[in-house]
């Protein structure tokens, strides 16, 4: 399998990348790791006339704390997220999720910006950024705008990014004390993609009550979503295994269009969404109780 | 607080006297590059705007197994095709060709990557590429390769170079792994003969030998 021939650009700055993207428009594809794009190009499902490789823009590769949030440059690899002491201490859901992405070879090259912008319905990060109420920063020739994770994912392989925009940064919160997080996933064994992936974030308040909870689900539907009914069933109540199990039953709302493929039928996905939501909540609760964040 | 990725040195394995198979030897054939074109490229790179490259063949230099290797490739050529078809380094295998099976695993600055899912031109930025051919001196086996032989950790052997490279990268990160950790670490490598048990034994054994005993 060989991709169709293309022109290759390797800009060294975001400004240059934006100029190139403006000039080439829909004939260009952005390369940010390539573990989704290159296979698509080999299958000729994508045949861009021009590839803009963002890999040399070192200014988009960082993890740093800013104004009470943690900012992650779009070109940061999954391995860097996984190994970051800052994220492990202050927002462990992202490293917990990165640990489950694909395999070590994918984690060493794939980037958080590339994964989010591609918006594969079976990708892992979407569940986590939804559960974290992350902000996603998009740059264009006209400046930057900040999107909430909840408005970023539009449909299968479709995001709110406009033509001419490049995803530059993801911002996640520093999680408050008493918060536990977990990402639990049913893997497709060969590819490592999620058949179902559940990201949970749970903060305990006084008397063991659930003060705040968020659950993001991926792999289940054409786009990742927040399991609002699960969150509602938990908020303000005293946390127990029984409560979590009951709440998890609401993981798949009626109006969700379920995915179905040779790996898992819609019915199986729905059942597993409940199971993995429960497991993620149980792990998050245990961590919240042990005061680990 | 900014963080930088870890960088590791190129591995040099100690041998144990076992002979390597002839087909794993690199032949060292380099394709001569158009000097004038290279100079044009370098000049353009020093200017503010990066050069347009391709779609035709362009000269690039890859650092492979400690040596600079010049070759001429189209931008669409993957690192794997460059290694196998341009440099006669056929240890990395082409199997799925879509970043799933791990048979093409090589090291990029010490980290395991899929050579099939990286453009050769993207690997020509001075990164150190290590292939199975560069793991140990000629006629010698890297301790991990030797452990694979001893534990019969292969059947048809086609996936083996990829497994060895992934294992070498992992053992440098974690020299003292459990079986479970090895299983997770080699999750990116598939074996259709089903030799996973042998592979896990081999990797843990290589670790024990490297440490002189597990704590």
Give the model confidence (pLDDT) of A153-175 as tens digits. 999 999 999 999 999 999 999 99
Is the confidence at residue B44, as pLDDT, over 60?
no
Write the ipTM: 0.93
Instruction: Report the residue of chain A nearest B125, measured CA to CA.
Output: A56
Please report whether residue A1 resides in a domain. no
Give me the sign of the Cα torsion angle A180, A186, A191, A193. Answer: negative
Rounded to whole angstroms, the Cα distance separating A257 from A254 reads 8
Q: Is B57 on the interface with A (CB under 8 A)?
A: no
Angle at A127 between CA A126 and CA A128, to 5 degrees: 90
Dihedral (Cα; A120, A121, A127, A133), 10-degree rounding: 70
Residues of chain B contacting residue A8, judged by C-beta atoms under 8 Å apart: 52-55, 75, 119, 121
3-class SS letters over A190-246? CCCCEEEEEEEEEEECHHHEEEEEEEEEECCCCCCEECHHHHHHHCCCECCHHHHHH
What pLDDT is recorded for position A7? 97
Q: Do A62 and B2 touch (CB under 8 A)?
A: yes
Q: Does B169 touch chain A (CB under 8 A)?
A: yes
**What CATH number does the domain containing B158 carry?**
1.10.150.120
pLDDT of residue A242: 96
C-alpha to C-alpha distance for A186 and A80, rounded to whole angstroms? 23
The string of DSSP letters for B4-48 reads: -----PPP-PPP-SPPPPGGGS-----PPP-HHHHHHHHHHHHSS
Domain range for A275 is: 179-292
Q: Between the CA atoms of A133, A139, A143 and A144, what dihedral angle is there, to the nearest 10 degrees?
A: 10
Q: Which of A116, A148, A173 is the last residue of a domain?
A: A173
Question: Which residues contact residue B124 at a Cβ distance below 8 angstroms, ignoring those fewer than 6 apart?
Answer: B60, B61, B62
Last residue of a domain, one of B111, B134, B157: B134
Q: Among B92, B108, B134, give the residue marking a domain's end.
A: B134
For residues A23 and A7, the answer to whether their CB atoms sit within 8 Å is no
Q: Which of B68, B99, B134 is the last residue of a domain?
A: B134
Residue A247 sits in the same domain as residue A281 = yes
Instruction: Give the tokens for residue A166.
Output: 């490049």
Q: How many CB atoms lie within 10 A of CB A255?
A: 6
- Substitution target in A104, A187, A190, A192 with the highest count of B β-carbons within 10 Å is A104
Task: Please state the domain count of chain B.
Answer: 2
| Residue A65 in tokens | 């704390």
Chain B residues lying within 8 Å of A188, measured CB to CB: none
User: Which value, in Å, is the radius of gyration of the alpha carbons in chain A?
Assistant: 19
Beta carbons of B76 and A62 less than 8 Å apart: no
Q: What integer pLDDT is reported at residue B14 of this predicted model?
A: 35
Nearest to A157 by CA among A256, A223, A112, A217: A223
Averaged pLDDT for residues A251-267: 95
Of A5, A10, A41, the CB nearest to B55: A5
Backbone angles phi, psi at A66, to 5 degrees: -145, 125
Structural domain including B108 reads 57-134
The CATH number linked to A215 is 3.30.390.50
Q: Is residue B15 part of a domain?
A: no
Q: Would you call B112 and A105 a contact, using CB atoms and an 8 Å cutoff?
A: yes
Q: What is the pLDDT of residue A189?
A: 83
Q: Assess whether pLDDT exceeds 70 at residue A181.
A: yes
Phi, psi for A84 (deg, rounded to 5) = -70, 115
pLDDT for position B48: 57
User: Is B154 within a domain?
Assistant: yes
A2 pLDDT band, cuts 50/70/90, is very high
Question: Looking at residue B211, what is its pLDDT?
Answer: 59
Calculate ∠ Cα A169-A9-B87, nearest 5°: 115
Q: What pLDDT digit, counting tens, does each position of A215-240 carry?
A: 999 999 999 999 999 999 999 999 99
Within a domain: residue B86? yes
Return the pLDDT at B33: 35
Regarding whether A79 and A166 lie in a shared domain, the answer is yes
A215 and A246, same structural domain? yes
**Tens-place pLDDT, residues B175-201:** 999 999 999 999 999 999 999 999 999
Same domain, A146 and A130: yes
Angle at B83 between CA A57 and CA B199, to 5 degrees: 100
Tell me the C-alpha distance between B84 and B8, whole Å.
Answer: 25
Task: Name the average pLDDT for chain A.
Answer: 96
Please indicate, yes or no, whether the overall pTM of this predicted structure exceeds 0.80. yes
Q: Which residue has the higher pLDDT, A106 or B44?
A: A106
Domain match, A93 and A147 both? yes
Lookup result for tokens 């070879």: A105
Give yes or no for a contact between A230 and A248, defined as CB atoms under 8 angstroms apart: yes
Residue A291 banded pLDDT, cuts 50, 70, 90: low
Question: pLDDT tens digits for B60-92?
Answer: 999 999 999 999 999 999 999 999 999 999 999
CB contact under 8 A, A9 and B50: yes
pLDDT above 70 (res B9): no
Contact A192, A124 (CB under 8 A): no
Asked which of A124, A153, A173 is the last residue of a domain, the reply is: A173
């Amino acid at each position: 399998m060989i991709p169709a021939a293309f022109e290759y650009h390797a800009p060294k700055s975001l400004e240059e990348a934006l100029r190139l993207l403006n000039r080439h428009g829909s004939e260009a594809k952005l390369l940010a790791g390539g573990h989704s794009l290159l296979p698509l190009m080999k299958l000729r499902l994508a045949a861009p006339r021009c590839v803009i490789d963002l890999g040399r823009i070192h200014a988009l590769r960082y993890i740093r704390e800013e104004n009470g949030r943690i900012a992650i440059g779009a070109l940061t690899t999954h391995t860097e997220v996984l190994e970051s002491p800052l994220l492990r201490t202050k927002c462990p859901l992202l490293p917990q999720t990165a640990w489950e992405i694909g395999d070590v070879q994918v984690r060493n090259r794939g980037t958080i910006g590339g994964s989010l912008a591609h918006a594969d319905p079976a990708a892992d990060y979407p569940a986590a950024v939804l559960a974290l109420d992350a902000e996603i920063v998009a740059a264009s020739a006209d400046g930057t705008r900040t999107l909430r994770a909840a408005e970023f994912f539009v449909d299968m392989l479709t995001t709110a990014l406009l033509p001419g925009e490049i995803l530059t940064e993801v911002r996640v919160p520093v999680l408050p004390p008493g918060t536990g997080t977990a990402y639990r996933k049913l893997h497709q064994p060969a590819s490592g993609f999620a058949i179902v992936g559940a990201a949970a974030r749970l903060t305990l308040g006084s008397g063991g009550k659930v003060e705040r909870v968020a659950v993001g689900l991926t792999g289940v539907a054409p786009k990742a979503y927040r399991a609002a009914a699960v969150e509602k069933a938990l908020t303000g109540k005293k946390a127990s295994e029984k409560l979590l199990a009951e709440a998890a039953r609401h993981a798949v709302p009626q109006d969700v269009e379920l995915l179905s493929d040779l790996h898992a039928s819609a019915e199986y996905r729905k059942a597993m969404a409940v199971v993995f939501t429960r497991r993620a909540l149980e792990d998050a609760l245990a961590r919240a109780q042990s005061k680990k964040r | 607080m900014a963080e930088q990725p870890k960088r590791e040195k190129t591995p040099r394995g100690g041998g144990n006297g076992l002979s390597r198979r002839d087909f794993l030897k690199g032949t060292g054939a380099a394709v001569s590059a158009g000097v004038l074109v290279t100079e044009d490229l370098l000049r353009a790179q020093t200017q503010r705007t990066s050069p347009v490259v391709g779609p035709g063949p362009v000269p690039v230099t890859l650092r492979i197994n400690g040596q600079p290797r010049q070759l001429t490739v189209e931008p669409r050529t993957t690192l794997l095709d460059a290694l196998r078809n341009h440099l006669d380094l056929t240890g990395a295998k082409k199997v799925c060709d879509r970043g799933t099976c791990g048979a093409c695993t090589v090291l990029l600055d010490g980290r395991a990557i899929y050579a099939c899912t990286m453009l050769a031109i993207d690997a020509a930025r001075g990164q150190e590429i290590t292939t199975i051919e560069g793991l140990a001196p000629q006629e010698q086996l890297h301790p991990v390769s030797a452990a694979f032989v001893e534990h019969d950790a292969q059947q048809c052997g086609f996936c083996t170079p990829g497994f060895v490279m992934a294992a070498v990268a992992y053992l440098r990160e974690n020299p003292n792994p459990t079986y479970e950790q090895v299983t997770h670490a080699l999750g990116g490598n598939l074996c259709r003969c089903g030799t996973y048990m042998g592979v896990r034994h081999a990797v843990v054994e290589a670790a024990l030998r490297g440490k002189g005993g597990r704590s």
